[in-house]
Structure 1
Amino acid sequence: MSVNENQHKWHFFRSGGFDQVALERGADLQHLSELDPKLWTVLNCPTTGLEFDNRTLALLDSDGDGQVRIPEVQSAVRWCCQRLLDADLMFQSPGVPLSAINDQDEEGQALKTAAQRVLQYSGKTAQDLLQTEDFADKARLFSADHFNGDGVVMAELTDDEEVKQLITDIVSVTGGVADRSGGLGVDETLLAGFMSDAKAIVDWHQAGEAGSTELHPLGSATADAVAAFEQVQAKIDDFFVRCQLAAFDSRATPALNPEAGVYAVLANRAVASADSDIAALPLAEVAPERPLPLGSGVNPAWAGAIAQFSTKVVQPLLGKDTDSLQYADWAAISAQLASWRAWQASKPDSALHQLPTARLQQIINSDLASRLEALIVADKAEKTFADNVDNAERLVHFQRYLVTLLRNFVSLSDFYQGHQKAIFQAGTLYLDQRSCELVLYVNDQARHATMAPFSGCYLVYCSCVRSGEAPVNIVAALTGGDVDELMVPGRNGVFYDRQGRDWKASVTKVVAQPVSIRQAFWSPYKRVAAFIETQLQKFAASRDKDIESKTTADIAAAPAAGASSFDIAKFAGIFAAIGLAVGALGTALAAIVSGLFALPLWQVPLVLLGVMLLISCPSMLMAYMTLRRRNLGPLLDANGWAVNTRARINVPFGASLTGLATLPKGAKRTMTDPFAEKKQPWGLIILLLVLAAAAVWFWLYR
C-alpha cells in the first residue's frame, strides 16, 4: 500500500530511549493535530513551578484549572496557524509584523486593526514589530481618555463639565467601578442605582416638607422634641406598665418596686446620679394608677432627661405647665409624634445623603443621566476592540513562547538536545566540587518524596533561602561523580536560579541510588571497611569506658594501707584465649596462602581477580539494573506532570547533567605539598617480606 503523497511527513529523532518528533517548520504546526497523542511525550503539565512565561501559560489554560492539556495546546497552535499568513513565523525571532496577520476574514481584520492601535498607543509605527512588552501596561492601551470597551466611563473621557461633575459625584459617594485603565468610573448598573436612590431621597424629603401639622406638630422644633421623646420613651412605658400591673393586682406592688436590699449595694460606696445601678431602677415609685412625676420623685439618673422631655415635649404639646404626666396624656403625646417618627423610619438607606438635596433634585430633573448613559453605550460599543486587543496579545505571546512549550511538551528536545534548559529545570546547584543541572522546584515534598525515588536517580533535596525572597525547596539529581560520604543532611551549597540569582542551599534529605558501575564495584569493600572502622571505634570506646569504670571502682574499694593482689591465673586464661584465636587465624591464613601458592604463579592474579568480581558482581548487577531504569518521568510526575513515556537518563547523558571539577586547559600544577603526610616504609617492608616468604615457599615446595 503506497503512502499518500499529501500526507505530512514527520521527522523523528531518537533520544532518551524513545522516538521524539522534531518540530522545525510551520508545516509541522499545521499538522500537529494529526499527530497521534500516543507519540506526544507529555499529556499535561502544571502552570506553576516552570521557568516559562506566566501570561502565556494563563492564555493556554483556557479552563483555568492550573493544567495545560493536549487539546488546549492543539487549539492554540491551530489558532496561530489561522491568524498568521506564514506559520514559519512561529520559529523566528520574537515579534509579529502587521503584514504577517491574516486579514482575509472578519476576525483577522478586527485583529489587525486592534494591533495597529496598540502600536499607535505604544508610540510605534505600522512598520514596527508588535512585541509582548507592548501589552505590559494595560493602562496605556485602555487609558481613561478614550473608549476601551469595558462599559465604564471615567470623568477624563468627556469634555462636558456637567457630565464630568456628575461622574465625580457618583464616584465620591458610591466608590465607583474599576475601569480597565486602572481608575474609577461609572457603569450602566451603577448609574441606574444612583438615579433610583436619588429619586427616593428627593421624594422622601418632599414628603417631609409637605408642611402638615400632623407631620410637624411642633414645626421646626419637632425634630428636637422627638429626640427628647425617644430618649425616655422606653423608661416611661416601663413605669406606666408597672403602675397598671399594680392596679390590676395590689399584691404585685411591692414586687414592682425595688427591694430594700438593692439600696444596701449602694450604701458603702460613693454614688453618682449616672450610676448604672441607679439607672436600672424604675423611673419613679410604682403605685396603682399613679401619674409620672416630672419634678421631684423622679429617679435621679433620669432627672435631666425627664426635665428636657417636659420642656420640649409635654409643655408645648399639652399647652400647660404641669408637674406630672397622666397615662392618657402620655398616649396622646405618642400619637402626635407617630407620623413624624414614621416618616423618619422611612428614610432611604443610601450614601447619597452626603450630597445636598438640591443637587440630587437637579440631577433627576435634568438630562445629565441620559447624556452619561450615551457615553457608557459608546464605550461598550468598543468591546470588539478590547476583545481583539486580548487576541493580539495572545498572538504575540504564542509567537514568542509557544514553540518553546512544544519542545518541552510534544517532545523533550530542549532537555535532550541541550540547546537550552528545559522549562522544568530550575537552575544549577553547586555542591562539593560539582554542578547539577537537573534541578527541579518542589512544592509538595511529601508527594515528591513518594514518587521521585522511582526515577532511579541519586536525589538531593535542599532548602534554599535568599534575603528578601520567600524560601524555596529544590531537588537535584546527581548523575555523575563519587557520592561516598557526600550528601550528609546539613551540608551547604549554592543554588543559582534561571535569573542568575544565588541562593544558600542546605541539604535536607538524600535518596541514595547508584551513580555508576565503577562506584558499585568498590562499594562492598568500602562498606566492609566502614563496618570494621565502626566496630573498632565501638570496641575501643567500650574498652576505654570499662577501664575507666574499673579504675574508679578499684580506687574506691582499695584498702588505705595496701594494694590488691595480682590474679595470675585470670591473666593466664586471657593470654591463652588470645593465643588460640591468633593460632586459628594463622592456621586459616596459612591454609589460604598455601592453597593460593599451590597454583601456578600466573593463575594467582586470576584467582584474586575472580574473588574480587565474586564480591563486587551483585552490587554491580544491582547498579546496572538501577541505571538502566533511571528516567525523568517520576521526577516530573511528582510535580504534577503526566509524562507519556519512559524518558531515560543513561550513563553518558547523565554525565552531561552533572559537571565535575577539572583544571582549566593549559593550567600548571605543582605536585609538591609542603604539608603532605610523610610516607612510612612499612607498606614496602611488608610487601618485601610477603614476596620473600613466597619465594622461600616456592623454593622449598616446588
Structure 2
Amino acid sequence: MGKYQWNFCSLGGVARVAINSGEDIKHLSELDGKLWTVLSMPLKALEFDAKTLALVDSDHDGRIRVNEIVAVSQYLCKVLKNADDLLKREDQIAVSALADSAEAKALLDAAALLEKDTFSLKDVAELNANLAVSVAALEAPQAPVAPYGDQTAAVTAAVAALKTKVADFFMRCQLIAFNEGCAASVDTSLAKIAAISNEDMSACAAQIAECPLAQPSKDLLLPINKGVNPALAAQFAVVAKHALSVDYPQAEAISQEQWNAVEAKLAAYAAAVEAQTKEHNAIHDQALAARKAAIDAWDNFLHLYRDFYRLLCNFVIMSDFYSKDNQKQAVFQAGKLLIDQR
C-alpha cells in the first residue's frame, strides 16, 4: 500500500497539511511528526470544551499530545460509517450513522438499552435528569402472600408488642405446672393493685400492664376471648381477631406452640419481603448503573464527535487561528507559542 497523498495549504505564510476529509483523519497516524503544527497543549486556559479535552487526555497528565490525538482519530473513524461526518462539528447523530464494528458496539448496545435512534447532547442532559425516574418505573415484583391479608402489618405490630408478655405468661404457667404452690406468687400482685385502687384506674394503664397477660394456670393455655389483662386487651384483640381466629377458628385458648407458630409465620413472611426487597433493590441499582453507563458512553462520544475536527484545526494546522470567520474561534487566544521550524 502506497503512502497517503496529503494536500497542503498556506497558512500564516507557511505550507501546512490540510485536513479536509474523513480520509485525511483516518490517515493521521501516517502524518510525519514534522508536519504537526502543535505537538503538545495543556488542558487549561483554552477556548475549548474542558470535558472533551479531558477525554482526549488518555493518560490524565494534564496535556494532550500527538499520540492521543491519533488514538482518538482511529477510534472515531472505526465508530463511524463515514468519517466525513466529523467535519460537520455537530452535537447530534443518528444511531444508523455508526458502523457495525467492535468499537461501536458499546454505543449500539447503549442505544438499544436507552431505546433511542438519535442522540444529541441535549438528549443526554435530559436522560441524565430523568435517570432516577426512568429506573423507578421498573415493574416491582409480585409481593409474597401476606399470611393475614391486609391485616398482616397490624398483627405483626401487635405480636411484637406482646411478645415479651406472652413469653412471661407461659413461663408463669410452667412454674405452676412444676409446683402448684407457686400459683399465688406468679399471679397478679394484689398488693400492687391495692396500691393504685384509689386512683383513676383508666389513668393507670402503665401499672396495670406490668401485671401478667392473663391468669397463669397449670394447663399451660392462654385464653383468647376473655380473662386478658385489660391494659393489653386492645393489642391482644388484634391478634385474636385477625390471626388466632384464622389459624385456630374454634379455639378458646392456645398453647405456647400455637402462639409460636403465629410468630414463625410472620417471621417467614417478613424474611420473604426483606429478601425480595433486597433483590428488587439490587436489580434497580444494576439497571440504574447500566443506564447511567449507557448515557455516559453517548455523552463522551458526542463530545468527541462534535469537537474533534475543531481540535484538529487548532492542533494539526491551526487553521482556526488564521481564519477570518468569526464563527471559528481559535483554541489559542493568548499566550506564548514556541515554534520549532523544521
Task: Give the TM-score normalised by structure 1.
Answer: 0.28
Q: Which structure carries more relative contact order (alpha carbon 8 Å, separation 6+)?
A: 2
Task: Give the TM-score normalised by structure 2.
Answer: 0.48
